[in-house]
Amino acid sequence: MELFNDFKKTEEFFTQKKYSISLENSLNLLSKLDATNHSELYFRTSFLIGDIFRETNDHRKAILYYKKALESFNTQNNLTEKEKTSLSPSINNINLNKLLLRVGSEFHIIKEKDSAINYYKKILNSNTLNQLDLTTKASAFSNLSNIYREDSIYDLAKKYSYEAVKIYRKANKKVLESAALGNLASIHLEQKDYEKAKKIYLESLDLIKMDSSSRATRYKEFLYFNLAYTLYLQKDYRAYDYQEKSYNIKDDLKDVEIRRIVDEIYTRHELNLEKEKTALVEEQRKLEEAQEAKTSLLFGALSFLVLIISGVIIYNYKLRQKNLHLKLSESKLIQQQSIEKLKSEAQIKILNATIDGKETERKLIAEILHDNVSALLSSANMHLTATKKQFNGDTPQEIDKTQAIISEASQKVRDLSHNLVSSILLKFGLEYAIKDVTKKYSNSELKFDVSAQNINRYNQEFEIKVFNVIQELINNILKHSKAQHAEIILKEEEDQLTVLVKDDGVGFSTSSSSFSDGIGLNQIEARIQMMNGKLTINSKENIGTSIYISVPILKQQKNFKLTSVS
């Protein structure tokens, strides 16, 4: 019974999202179960460990432990009926088809499609007909539909999507039915049947419009984004309304995720701290017990020997106490360094989330100014021109002044749109945008040269991030370098984009406090770090500065999203 109580505690930690504690307890429990005949408990513990790795995105380890659970599924177990009923309801609901779905989903995530299809079809070939199995089969249908859509086998993709929708609708699983309908709409979107896609997206959103659960909220973000893209392709400018809804939900989900990451890191740190304190207290207790034993043993000896031995004992005790204090001090120092590192990582994540939000907002405002406000101003100017032609004599000066004001406003809107997000960047890409910026800033005192090798169009968000980094470096050159010549070299090689920015200015010492405290360079370093890239700065006073950046390239992708169920 003790093993079952251990399992229930471990599952409780998992439910509370304390994954590190739950994983440590689960692995200890699995080691104990290796020497027993509790095959069902071994199955459930392996399943739980797979879920922990799944939640922490270690998908290959998740598959490993799910397969351990599969191996033990049909093994005879020693559970009594009383022991079975003591397990929580969520554990009793685990069955073979749910496990098969988990394995298939993990293979699907790591792009091993053949293995994923194999496990999904095992579910479809199952003869079980209870409510839970039917819902699991619907999830298998939905995920198979996604695989066939990715391979452009649209007939099969639609067939499996309809099967999933039918089962979810019959079981009154509105959130899952909404996800399946969203995938069906995405198939029509790929086939350029925009009207059908729009209709199904709206039907899917209507199912969960009153549902505020985290899963429904995540699906709404996908659905609003895809609906906005569909309307955009139809040149229906209601697309911006739905895109804004999608971004608002996405920002909320980012805030929740950041809080979850910080809480998990803090919990893991607290656990390690508690272990270290327990170990130190135990060591001190043992020292005290040893001291008492030695004192009792030597108490009856000769006075001379007692004096000598007592002196040795006291010296030894003080030495050990001193060592213990040193260990405590060292432990506190390590803990403080760990806390500072965690704070730094959290600050970097928050900083990048803030920058992402600003970039998204700037892009949205620029598109609205360019596509809506600028178009309205141009239309107003055309109407005034047509009105002027209707006058036989002189045109009233008010019309000429109004046209001049509209032209000035139109120019300012174009300038503001370009300042928010470069229109050249959005239309022609990174190479032309950088050349445009440096051409504006080059003059008789400072000349910029730009060279690009093998530069293509990339994912738009990736291009904006890289452009903003380079623009920040250009601003630093203009403000601080006093250079006469600067050079920017862009190069694509082996799926990496490399950027070299160098100047012949006054330079700076990379060991100075002003360098480490610079907000601009800190933001650049944080941005490159979140892009999994590398940043190297070489500079010396009165010699100049070279900054080298290398980031993995994010290619252009289709502008809509899909959901999967596991």
At 46-57, the pLDDT tens digits run: 999 999 999 999
Angle at 168 between CA 128 and CA 94, to 5 degrees: 45
Compute the average pLDDT of residues 11-17. 91
pLDDT exceeds 90 at position 449: yes
At 90-120, the pLDDT tens digits run: 344 457 888 899 999 999 999 999 999 999 9
pLDDT at position 332 is: 74
Q: Is residue 178 part of a domain?
A: yes
Number of domains in the chain: 2
Domain that holds residue 115: 2-234
Q: Is residue 29 part of a domain?
A: yes
Last residue of a domain, one of 189, 215, 234: 234
Per DSSP, what are the bridge partners of residue 544? 540
Q: Is residue 210 part of a domain?
A: yes
Last residue of a domain, one of 234, 252, 272: 234
Q: Is residue 348 part of a domain?
A: no
User: Contact 197/189 with Cβ under 8 angstroms?
Assistant: yes
**CB atoms near residue 548 (< 10 Å):** 15
Residue where the block lists tokens 């790929």: 190
Last residue of a domain, one of 218, 234, 250: 234
Compute the average pLDDT of residues 460-472. 89
CATH for 72: 1.25.40.10
Q: Is residue 82 part of a domain?
A: yes
Q: How confident is the model at residue 266 (pLDDT cuts 50, 70, 90)?
A: low
* Distance of alpha carbon 418 from alpha carbon 369, whole angstroms: 10
Q: How confident is the model at residue 299 (pLDDT cuts 50, 70, 90)?
A: low
pLDDT at position 362 is: 63
Residue where the block lists tokens 């006058």: 391
* Distance of alpha carbon 422 from alpha carbon 171, whole angstroms: 50
Q: Is residue 495 part of a domain?
A: yes
SS3 content of the chain, % helix, strand, coil (to 5): 75, 5, 20
pLDDT exceeds 80 at position 165: yes
* Cβ partners under 8 Å of residue 529, min gap 6: 348, 535
CATH for 437: 3.30.565.10
Q: Is residue 287 part of a domain?
A: no
User: Contact 228/243 with Cβ under 8 angstroms?
Assistant: yes
Cα torsion at 86, 89, 90, 95 (round to 10°)?
Answer: 90
pLDDT at position 411 is: 74
The better pLDDT of the pair 484, 562 is held by: 484
* Distance of alpha carbon 417 from alpha carbon 57, whole angstroms: 39
Q: Is residue 533 part of a domain?
A: yes
* Distance of alpha carbon 202 from alpha carbon 517, whole angstroms: 50
